[in-house]
Chain A
Amino acid sequence: MIRYLADFIRYRELIELLTAREIKARYKQSALGILWALFQPAIMLILFSAIFTKIVRMPTGDTPYPVFLLSGLIPWLFFSNALNAAIPSLVSNADLIKKIYFPRVIFPLASIMAAAFDFLIACSLLVVLLIYFKIKLTFWLLLLPLFIFLEFMLIVSIALLLSALNVFYRDVKNALANLIQIAMFATPVIYPLSVIRPNLQKLLLLNPMTGIVECFRNVLVMGTAPNWNFFFISAILTIALFTTAHHLFKKLEPNFADSI
C-alpha cells in the first residue's frame, strides 16, 4: 500500500494528465457538458422516488425517501461508474502499454479519479436535497472522508483485480457490467436494510458496499454514529481484496504488453 502511495506521488502529474484526459474526452463535443454528471443520479432519483413514495411506500422512518435514496445512490454510482471505466482501462490504452513502460496501475487509477470527479459533482445534488428537506447535520458528518476513503480502496482493489484479468479474458468487462447492475439490488441503496429478513441481512453484509452505504447514510442523513460493526466488516473485506488484487496485478503486469 505504501508502495502504491509512493507511485501515486511520483506519477502524480501523469495521473493528473490521464484523469483530465478522461474527463475531457467524456464531455468534449457535448452541449450539456458537465451537467451530464448530474443527469444520471437525477433521473434515478426521480424514478425511484416516484415509485417508492407514490406507488409503494418504503418505510424509511423520519427520513424523507428522496434524501434517503440519494445518500445511498451517490456512493453507489461512484462505485459502479468507477468500475465500469477502470476495468477496460488497460485494454483501451493498449497503444501506450505496447510502446512505453511505466507502472500500469496508473490507468485504472486515472479512470477511478475521473469517476471521483463526477462523484463530487453529484454530491452537489445531495447538498441541495439536504437543504430542501432541512436535514439537521451533526458532527458525525466529519467521518464522511473515512468512508469515502474506504470506498475508494474497495474500488481500487476490484479494479486492479478485474482490469488485469480483462487483458487475458475480455469476457470480464461484459460480465461485470451486467453484474454491477444486479448488485445494486443486493446493496441497501433503494431500500433500508431493516426491510430485509435478519438472516438475509447477514448475507448482504458480505457485500462490502452494504457497510459503506449504511455508514454514508448514518452520518449524512440520520446524523447518528455509524454502525461500526458494518464498517469493520467492509474494511476487513476490502483489505483482503486489496491484498489479493495487489499480488495478482503484480504477477500479471509483466505479461500485459505481450498479450494485449
Chain B
Amino acid sequence: MTSIQFANVTKTYHLKREVYRSLASQCNEAFLRILKPHSDTKDYIHALDNVSFEITQGESVGIIGANGAGKSTLLRLIANISKPTSGTITVHGQIAPLLEVGAGFHPELTGRENIFLNGVILGMSKHDIRKCFDQIVTFAELDKFIDSPVKLYSSGMYIRLGFSVAVHSNFDILLADEIFAVGDYRFRMKCLDKFGLLKKQGKTIVLISHSLEQLQKHCQRGILIRRGKIVIDAEIEQVCNQYQNMEQM
C-alpha cells in the first residue's frame, strides 16, 4: 500500500522576503518594482524542483543531500505544514513529525504539560496519554526534569522527549529531521532498537541525517537530493556511495 506519493512536486520560495514584513517595507518594495521592473524576477529559488517518488507502507527511507538541498522542505511538505507550489502530494496515515530539533513544544510549559499538548496534537486522547505517560517519561529518561519548563532542557533532552512522545502516539509515518545530530550515543542506540521494532510493526519511516553510517543502519532505501532535484533513488548503500563520490569531486 502506498504511504507517501509525490507527483511532479515543485516548491518555490521568494528569497528576498524579510522575516518581519512591515507595511512600510512592502510599500518600499512595491515602489522599487515600479522604478525597476524585472529587477527581482530571479529572486525565487526552487527548494524542490519537479520531484516525484513513491514510498510504500513499512519502508524506511533515508534522505541525503548537502545543506540547502531541500531535505527539510520535503519533510515539511509530507507533514502538510507547507503546501507545494505545484504538483500533488498524497499521504495515507497519521504522521508523527520531528522536524528540525523539536517536535513543537511550548518553551514556557513543563515537560509534563508538553507531553499532553504534543500528544493531543498527534491525535491521542488525554486518556491515552495518561495510560502511557510513565512509559514516555522513562523512555525519554527525563524523570527528574519532567516538571521543569522545557526551555531549560538541552537540545538533546528536547529531542528525546519529542521522540518519545512521537513513538508512543498512534502513528503510521514517522518523519525525523536530523534527530541524531543532537542525541548522544545512548540515545542513538535506543533509536536503533526502537526503529527495528517500528519497522516490524509496519510503520513507515523517513529520516534525514548527515551520518551515512546511521542511515545505513536504519534504512533500506535512500533518496539523494541536490539543489531541489532527485539525483538517485535506490538502495541505501548505492546512494551513500554516490553521495560520497559526488562530494569528493
Contacts and interface: CB of A to CB of B under 8 A. Distances in A.
Given A95-B107, A100-B97, A13 B82 contact: no
B81 interface: yes
B105 A257 contact: no
Interface residues of B, number: 33
A14 B23 contact: no
A25 B109 CA distance: 9
A185 interface: no
A17 B105 contact: no
B180 interface: no
A25 B107 CA distance: 11
Interface stretch (B2-10, B35-43, B117-125, B221-229): B117-125
A13 B76 contact: no
Contacts of B121: 14, 96, 100, 102
Contacts of B22: 169-171
B104 A99 contact: yes
Given A100-B81, A100-B103, A170-B22, A14 B120 contact: yes
Contacts, number: 70
B21 A169 contact: yes
B93 to A, nearest CB: 13
B131 interface: no
Interface string B86-111: 00000000010101101111111100
B235 interface: no
B26 interface: yes
A98 B83 CA distance: 12
B126 interface: yes
Contacts of A259: 17, 21
B237 interface: no
Q: Is the interface of B mostly helix, strand, loop or mixed?
A: loop
A171 B83 contact: no
A25 B102 CA distance: 21
A101 B102 contact: no
Nearest to B104: A99
B116 interface: yes
Contact of B99 (A99, A169, A170): A99
Nearest to A101: B80
B59 to A, nearest CB: 22
B106 A96 contact: yes
B20 interface: yes
Contacts of B104: 95-96, 98-100
B161 to A, nearest CB: 13
B106 A100 contact: no
B53 interface: no
A95 B17 CA distance: 19
A168 to B, nearest CB: 6
A60 interface: no
Interface of A: 13-14, 17-18, 21, 25, 95-102, 168-171, 254-255, 257-259
20 contacts: A14-B121, A21-B106, A21-B109, A21-B113, A25-B108, A96-B104, A98-B81, A99-B104, A100-B79, A100-B99, A101-B95, A169-B21, A169-B23, A170-B22, A171-B22, A254-B82, A254-B83, A255-B83, A257-B76, A259-B17
Interface of B: 13, 17, 20-23, 26, 76, 79-83, 95, 97, 99-100, 102-109, 113, 116-117, 120-122, 125-126
A-B pairs, 5 with minimum CB distance: A99-B104, A254-B83, A100-B104, A101-B80, A96-B104
Given A95-B105, A169-B26, A171-B22, 14 more contacts: A17-B116, A18-B117, A21-B113, A95-B102, A96-B104, A99-B97, A100-B97, A100-B121, A169-B21, A170-B22, A254-B82, A254-B83, A257-B76, A258-B13
